[in-house]
Amino acid sequence: MGDHRPEVFFDGARTAAAHVVGQPGDGWQVAKATLAFERGAAMLGLQVGFRRDLENLIAAARESGAAADPLLRDKLARAWIGLEAVRAYALDTLGGDDPTQASVLKVLWSRWHQRLGELAMEILGAESMTGHDEWQRLFLFSRAETIYGGSDEIQRNIIAARALGLPRK
């Protein structure tokens, strides 16, 4: 079908010198640094919400009796371990100068949160999607997290090319 890459060019764009971020011509460098922050350091704040989501799901599993199911207990334990791994990676790479670390972290946390949303549906059932704003938000919004800020596919391409030295296509 061809190579479709979303690109935007601003030829001849002008602005006041006071509005220029960085040096003229370095726009892509500024954009990459901004995205790296979004995927990296900003993740530390997201973890507070992720921890709350997990704790609320554990409480809901206890309340509904689902926590007695050994398979669901195992999945909840894996979710807790996964969040601890994401947290450890975020702290370990905070302030690092390797831009691929932000891509790795973005894939880790977005996939973790999506799995948590799926686990919530498994524990609470489809009826939790009606009248339970917290679980609707978790399940539906976690789908978008694998897309915004650079889709997981883009992040994997960055990791493959920059961290592993693999050729593009």
Residue of 149 and 14 predicted with greater confidence:
14
> Could you read off the pLDDT of 67-105 as tens digits, one per residue?
999 999 999 999 999 999 999 998 888 877 787 888 899
Q: What's the CA gap between 95 and 149, in Å, rounded?
A: 19
What number of CA atoms fall less than 13 Å from residue 48's CA on the CB side? 3
> Could you read off the pLDDT of 147-158 as tens digits, one per residue?
887 888 999 999
Q: How confident is the model at residue 1 (pLDDT cuts 50, 70, 90)?
A: very low
Q: How confident is the model at residue 26 (pLDDT cuts 50, 70, 90)?
A: confident
The gap between the terminal CA atoms of the chain, to the nearest Å, is 14
DSSP letter string, 30-89: HHHHHHHHHHTTTHHHHHHHHHHHHHHHHHHHHHHTGGGSHHHHHHHHHHHHHHHHHHHH
Q: How confident is the model at residue 122 (pLDDT cuts 50, 70, 90)?
A: very high
Q: What's the CA gap between 128 and 80, in Å, rounded?
A: 21
Share of the chain above pLDDT 70, in %: 89
Q: What's the CA gap between 121 and 115, in Å, rounded?
A: 10
Domain boundary assignment for the chain: 21-163
Long-range contacts of 93-98 (CB under 8 A, 24+ apart): 93/40, 94/40, 94/41, 94/44, 95/41, 96/40, 98/163
Based on the residue annotation, tell me whether 145 is a catalytic residue of this protein.
no
Please identify, in words, the CATH class of the domain defined by 21-163: mainly alpha
> Could you read off the pLDDT of 123-140 as tens digits, one per residue?
998 777 777 788 888 998
Average pLDDT, the chain: 85
Catalytic residue selected from 7, 38, 118, 134: 38
